[in-house]
Amino acid sequence: MSKKIYTLFAVMMIAAMLLSACQPAGDAKPDCSKPDVFCVGLVTDVGKIDDKSFNQSTWDGVKMAEKELGAIVQYIETTDPKDYDKNISTFGDANYDVIVTVGFALGEATVAAAQKFPNVKFIGVDQFQAEEVANVAGLNFPEDNAGFLVGALAAMMTKTNQIGAVLGTDAVPPVWRFGEGYRAGALYINPSIEINVIYHNDVGFDKTFTDPEWGKTTAISMIDKGVDIIFGAGGKTGNGALLGAAEKSVYCIGVDTDQYFTVPEAQKFLLSSAMKLLDTGTFTLIKLAKEGTFPKGNFFGDAGYAPFHDLDSAVPADVKAKMQEIDAALKAGTLMTGVPPVKP
């Protein structure tokens, strides 16, 4: 071999080694069938893992299991609802120990997969279990309570007596509960307040959570008509509403997680977020699965509201006190939102 060819060969070998070293660790296929290897897979609905809201918060819970429990973790983003079964089976066929499916729409596919893979523990986020299946836990939250809290906040903070909400489809019960909880909380504070709640129902289901432009233009349209506080809920669609509010310099309220940290463009105008603790709820169930104490049926996580952050000084002391009072009453069950579990 000539010196020139040898040098070229050496360069190619080094390049190949570097390329291999740069591959993400998640691309490697672990042997999840081994007792000492604990594998957790997550399947999203048609929303993306980086939606800065629902999917991302659930994935954060899975990553907590990676850090705290030494789990091997991976996710699959669904691009078409017809792929639910295939995507879940990808993890099932690979002998994953736990599969997390995110969203109401995956409910039927999750139960079907649980029957196909009886040795796998399934966590169905926002999937209420009407009937118990031994290896399925539905992770649910009182979204109406969280919505009620931020609706009350909006009613106490509005200057125009007009507030709005821009949400994903009301065909998804948790989204509907957020929206109707928001309406109920505002009316609890002020029965004469004007509330405009709009759901993104005029397009295919797969776009209702991934349409930030619609969210933004809808929010701006409300603001131009006098609304001075916007609640945005529904993945990237809701995020668009927050950005629209920030662009018009009016207060906004996030959802699912504390969106002060996930939508920094809206920080100066973000009053709070209607939170459900998806990360800790998901992690808790994964931990129980690893410990052999996995529950079946429905498991309820916590919900509440996020800190006021940059706007803390703008929220009067009596408003803060009222929020604490309402939160305590909701948790104690002495105050009810009046919002049913599903849309009538």
CATH number at residue 110: 3.40.50.2300
One domain for residues 210 and 314: yes
Q: Is position 133 within any domain?
A: yes
Report how far residue 172's alpha carbon sits from residue 180's, in angstroms, rounded to the nearest whole number: 12
| Residue 153 maps to a domain | yes
pLDDT attached to residue 28:
57
Same domain, 112 and 232: no
Identify whether residues 223 and 326 lie together within a single domain.
Answer: yes
Whether residue 201 sits in one domain with residue 268 = yes
Q: Kindly state whether residue 166 falls inside one of the protein's structural domains.
A: yes
Q: d(Cα 269, Cα 247) in Å, to the nearest integer?
A: 9
| 325 and 201 inside one domain | yes
Tell me the C-alpha to C-alpha distance, in Å, between residue 117 and each of 113, 135, 165.
Answer: 6, 9, 40
Q: What are the 10-residue block averages of pLDDT along the chain, 344 residues in total?
A: 42 37 48 96 92 90 98 96 97 98 96 98 96 97 97 98 97 95 98 97 81 97 98 95 98 96 96 96 98 97 96 98 98 96 89
Residue 13 belongs to a domain: no
Residues 150, 123: one domain? no
> Domain check: are 114 and 151 in the same one?
no
Per the domain annotation, does 23 fall within a domain?
Answer: no
- Return the number of other C-beta atoms located less than 10 Å from residue 14's C-beta: 10
| Residue 155 shares a structural domain with residue 196 | yes
Is there a single domain that holds both residue 51 and residue 179? no
Number of structural domains in the chain: 2
Q: Where in the sequence is the domain holding 133, given as residue range(s)?
A: 31-141+282-286
**Do 51 and 156 have their domain in common?**
no
Q: Which SS3 state, helix, strand or coil, does residue 49 take? A: coil
Same domain? For 67 and 151 the reply is: no
Taking CA atoms, 268 is separated from 204, 222, 265, 308, in Å, by: 33, 20, 8, 10
Is this structure's pTM higher than 0.95? no
Q: Hey, how many other C-beta atoms are within 10 angstroms of the C-beta on 25?
A: 9
pLDDT of residue 19: 33
Q: Are 105 and 163 in the same domain?
A: no
